[in-house]
């Protein structure tokens, strides 16, 4: 029996003159539809009863194949104390870490890296993690994006090779009472003497504020707005007393009044 095609349903007056036809679906489309139903029934039977398998089995098979192809996959990273790696680590430490941890790793702004107690873990994996991700709450930047995995690994190996496991240092004694006219030990005379403010800045401040004073861990020192005041006297006070809650140490135990005045003047008068 032939199929009736091109039959108009007569709804044009209800749909802005658009005619609607009641043509049957083509045989090839109907055939594919029934074929997918038959295939679905067969697949369910095969999956559950003929060749039982599961997502877990597929996962295990793929992981086994990956382990065979890449035997070091998932292998725990190990410290490398080869001369080449330690030399690279020392170079990276000198360029990036000295200002906060000192050249001998004894600590300044950052903690002592030679003692036996580590705040964030002293094994190789923990040190790599700290270097890679940083500790934002303590002012430690994430060095992973800056250095990359290879250099971070070399830096971690160098730091651990220099760790002597010393007992934690005893707390420093409280400084003497502040001199009259100054704020908590701040020198009242801010005139810089012969000390080289630029050299002092480059030795102690670059890691946090960068050589061009644009800021990294610490704030931009070229900005028009200063968090703790931008006058010469206020800069001296900030350097002298520090800002502990922001990770800025007090430099009065490490620099003389003359050196503090010199570096403050260098920052105050800095021009690109």
Q: Please identify, among 137, 162, 187, the residue that sits at the C-terminal boundary of a domain.
A: 162
pTM: predicted TM-score of the whole model, two decimal places: 0.45
Q: Please identify, among 110, 135, 162, the residue that sits at the C-terminal boundary of a domain.
A: 162
Q: Which domain holds residue 204?
A: 197-268
- Number of domains the chain is built from: 3
Give yes or no: residues 233 and 263 share one domain: yes
Give yes or no: residues 87 and 154 share one domain: yes
The DSSP result for the chain, as a single string, is: -----S-B---GGGTTT---B-PPPPHHHHHHHHHHHHHHHHHHHIIIIIS---HHHHHHHHHHHHHHH-TTTTPPP-----HHHHHHHHHHHHHHTHHHH-TTS--SSSPPSSBS--TT--SHHHHHHHHHH-BGGGTB---HHHH-HHHHHHHHHHHHHH---BPPPPPPPPPPPPPTTSSTT--S-----SS-HHHHHHHHTHHHH-TTS--SSSPPTTSSS-TT--SHHHHHHHHHH-BGGGTBPP-TTTS-HHHHHHHHHHHHT---
CATH code for the domain in which residue 241 is found: 1.10.760.10
pLDDT one-digit tens code per residue, 83-101: 999 999 999 988 888 878 8
pLDDT at residue 31, rounded to an integer? 96
Q: Is residue 228 part of a domain?
A: yes
Give yes or no: residues 51 and 28 share one domain: yes
pLDDT at residue 220, rounded to an integer? 84
Q: Is residue 119 part of a domain?
A: yes
Mean pLDDT of 37-57: 83
Q: Is residue 65 part of a domain?
A: yes
Residues of the chain above pLDDT 90, percent:
14
Give yes or no: residues 144 and 92 share one domain: yes
């Amino acid at each position: 029996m032939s199929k009736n095609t091109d039959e108009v349903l007569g709804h044009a007056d209800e749909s802005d003159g658009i005619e609607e036809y009641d043509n049957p679906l083509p045989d090839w489309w109907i055939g594919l539809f029934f074929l997918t139903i038959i295939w679905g029934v067969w697949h369910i039977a095969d999956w559950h009863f003929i060749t039982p398998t599961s997502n877990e089995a597929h996962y295990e098979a793929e992981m086994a194949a990956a382990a065979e192809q890449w035997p070091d996959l998932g292998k725990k990273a190990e410290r490398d104390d080869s001369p080449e790696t330690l030399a690279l680590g020392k170079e990276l430490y000198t360029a990036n870490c000295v200002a906060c941890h000192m050249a001998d790793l004894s600590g300044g702004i950052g903690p002592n890296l030679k003692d036996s107690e580590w705040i964030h873990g002293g094994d190789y994996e923990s040190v790599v993690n700290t270097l890679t991700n940083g500790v934002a709450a303590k002012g430690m930047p994430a060095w992973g994006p800056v250095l990359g995995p290879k250099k971070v690994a070399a830096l971690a190996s160098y730091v651990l090779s220099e760790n002597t496991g010393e007992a934690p240092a005893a707390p420093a004694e409280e400084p003497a009472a502040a001199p009259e006219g100054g704020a908590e030990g701040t020198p009242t005379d801010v005139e810089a003497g012969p000390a080289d403010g630029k050299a002092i800045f480059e030795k102690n401040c670059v890691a946090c504020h960068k050589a061009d004073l644009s800021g990294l861990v610490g704030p931009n020192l070229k900005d028009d707005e200063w968090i703790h005041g931008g006058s010469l006297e206020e800069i001296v006070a900030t350097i002298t007393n520090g800002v502990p809650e922001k990770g800025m140490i007090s430099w009065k135990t490490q620099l003389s009044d003359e050196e503090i005045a010199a570096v403050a003047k260098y920052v105050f008068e800095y021009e690109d």
